[in-house]
């Protein structure tokens, strides 16, 4: 394969106000200050000020709903980015069982609109389509560690929408010669996404420490996950745009493998007070993805990427974030 090499002067991040998008913007601002960073946020997003506070002066923010083709076309044509990171999605797996049509409609059509806008604007950026390990679904143990050619068997409406995004990426690469790279991210520790099990656990532990909650509620603790720090994940996304081959798919994930229950034990060991836990049936999914161990050999071979943050550092970062932010939440309520 011929490696793509392209100078990135302007980058556009969809979903920039979200947990992953905001960390990616911070990574680019810190390590690649020469890059002009543009971000797309839904006009009714409420998280922009909070997640972007560290880089608000280094980011050009565009308010736009990706379900509005004319709006995204206007922005893409104006910005003319060299690289696009497509991170915008409704990403709550459990919630997708409750509102499947909204998740499917949003995630699929927003991606189709973005690709059409790029095509209509007659620009030629490298586009990274940020997918997820959820597309592999309930993997037969014989396919573990999971490689990129493992059959896709998505079980949640969210996973179905992401698998469709994946296929759209392949279709637009194949038919319109668009430089689309598909990455499938495995579980990461992202403090800014409260819907992830790790962040939910950390937030509840802090609330118990402050006397705001009596017990920690959890769902399935038997699922096995491979964990990575969100900051390492965002560096991987940047390297993907620089070094990966359009038309290809790449798994990205860490090296720390453990059941969700073991992760919870690690967090509880760092709690300042005893923590009582209880299974909440409402947190169980109709179908759960229980074995997510990736092979990242393909991605590492092309990029040379390796995680920099240890599991212990990620745990500390997660708890410190929630200790700071839960306290802020309480202070704001008291004012």
Side-chain-side CA neighbours of 185 within 13 Å: the count stands at 23
Kindly give the residue spans of alpha helices, DSSP state H, lying in the chain: 19-31, 48-51, 69-79, 93-98, 100-120, 157-176, 197-209, 230-243, 260-269, 297-303, 311-334
Q: pLDDT at residue 132 above 60?
A: yes
Q: Are strands 256-259 and 59-63 parallel, antiparallel or unpaired?
A: unpaired
CA distance 2 to 243: 10
Over residues 121-140, the mean pLDDT reads 96
Res. 290 pLDDT band, cuts 50 70 90: confident
Q: pLDDT at residue 329 above 80?
A: no
Computed over every residue of the chain, the mean pLDDT equals 94
Written as six digits, the tokens of 109 are 């059509």
Written as six digits, the tokens of 53 are 């506070």
Alpha-carbon distances, residue 306 vs 37, 88, 109, 225, 301 (angstroms): 25, 25, 34, 18, 10
- pLDDT for the residue 3: 45
Point out which residues pair with 318 in neighbouring strands.
none
Measured in degrees and rounded to the nearest 5, phi and psi for residue 64 equal -165, 140
Over residues 291-303, the mean pLDDT reads 97
Name the DSSP class of 213. Answer: -
Over residues 159-169, the mean pLDDT reads 98
Per DSSP, the three-state class of 299 is helix
Point out which residues pair with 149 in neighbouring strands.
none
- Domain limits, the chain: 10-186+230-253, 197-224+257-291+308-334
Q: pLDDT at residue 322 above 70?
A: yes
Using a CB cutoff of 8 Å and minimum separation of 24, what contacts does 299-303 make?
299/183, 299/236, 299/240, 299/244, 299/250, 299/251, 299/252, 302/3, 302/243, 302/244, 302/245, 302/250, 303/236, 303/239, 303/240, 303/242, 303/243, 303/244
CA distance 204 to 283: 14
CATH (residue range 197-224+257-291+308-334): 3.90.25.10
Q: Which fold has domain 10-186+230-253?
A: Rossmann fold (3.40.50)
- pLDDT for the residue 102: 97
Evaluate whether 20 touches 230 at the Cβ level (below 8 Å).
yes
CA distance 172 to 259: 37
Q: pLDDT at residue 29 above 80?
A: yes
Q: pLDDT at residue 312 above 80?
A: yes
Question: pLDDT per residue over 232-276, tens digit each?
Answer: 999 999 999 999 999 999 999 999 999 999 999 999 999 999 999
- pLDDT for the residue 48: 57
- pLDDT for the residue 335: 47
Question: pLDDT per residue over 34-87, tens digit each?
Answer: 999 999 998 655 555 689 988 989 999 999 999 999 999 999 999 999 999 999
Over residues 116-125, the mean pLDDT reads 97
Written as six digits, the tokens of 283 are 């947190």
Q: pLDDT at residue 2 above 70?
A: no
Question: pLDDT per residue over 186-234, tens digit each?
Answer: 999 999 999 899 999 999 999 999 999 999 999 999 999 999 999 999 9
């Amino acid at each position: 394969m011929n490696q793509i090499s392209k100078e990135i002067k302007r980058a556009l991040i969809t979903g920039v106000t979200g947990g992953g998008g905001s960390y990616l913007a911070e990574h680019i601002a810190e390590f690649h200050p020469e890059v002009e960073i543009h971000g797309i946020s839904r006009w009714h997003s409420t998280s922009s000020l909070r997640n972007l506070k560290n880089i608000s002066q280094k980011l050009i923010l565009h308010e736009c709903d990706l379900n509005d083709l004319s709006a995204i076309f206007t922005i893409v044509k104006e910005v003319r980015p060299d690289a696009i990171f497509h991170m915008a999605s409704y990403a709550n797996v459990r919630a997708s069982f409750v509102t499947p049509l909204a998740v499917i409609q949003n995630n699929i059509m927003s991606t189709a609109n973005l690709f059409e806008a790029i095509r209509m604007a007659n620009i030629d950026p490298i586009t990274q389509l940020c997918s997820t390990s959820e597309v592999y679904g309930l993997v037969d143990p014989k396919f573990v560690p999971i490689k990129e050619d493992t059959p896709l068997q998505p079980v949640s409406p969210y996973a179905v929408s992401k698998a469709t995004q994946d296929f759209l990426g392949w279709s637009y690469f194949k038919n319109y010669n668009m430089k689309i790279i598909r990455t499938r991210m495995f579980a990461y520790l992202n403090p800014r996404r409260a819907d992830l099990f790790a962040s939910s656990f950390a937030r509840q532990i802090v609330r118990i420490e402050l006397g705001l909650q009596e017990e920690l509620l959890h769902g399935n603790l038997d699922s096995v996950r491979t964990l990575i720090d969100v900051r390492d994940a965002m560096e991987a996304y940047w390297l993907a745009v620089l070094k990966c081959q359009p038309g290809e798919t790449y798994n990205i994930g860490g090296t720390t493998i453990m059941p969700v229950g073991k992760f919870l034990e690690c967090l509880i060991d760092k709690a300042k007070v005893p923590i009582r836990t209880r299974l909440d049936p409402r947190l169980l999914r109709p179908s759960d993805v229980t074995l997510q161990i990736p092979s990242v050999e393909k991605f590492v071979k092309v990029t040379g990427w390796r995680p920099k943050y240890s599991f212990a550092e990620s745990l500390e970062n997660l708890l410190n974030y929630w200790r700071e932010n839960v306290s802020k939440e309480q202070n704001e309520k008291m004012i």
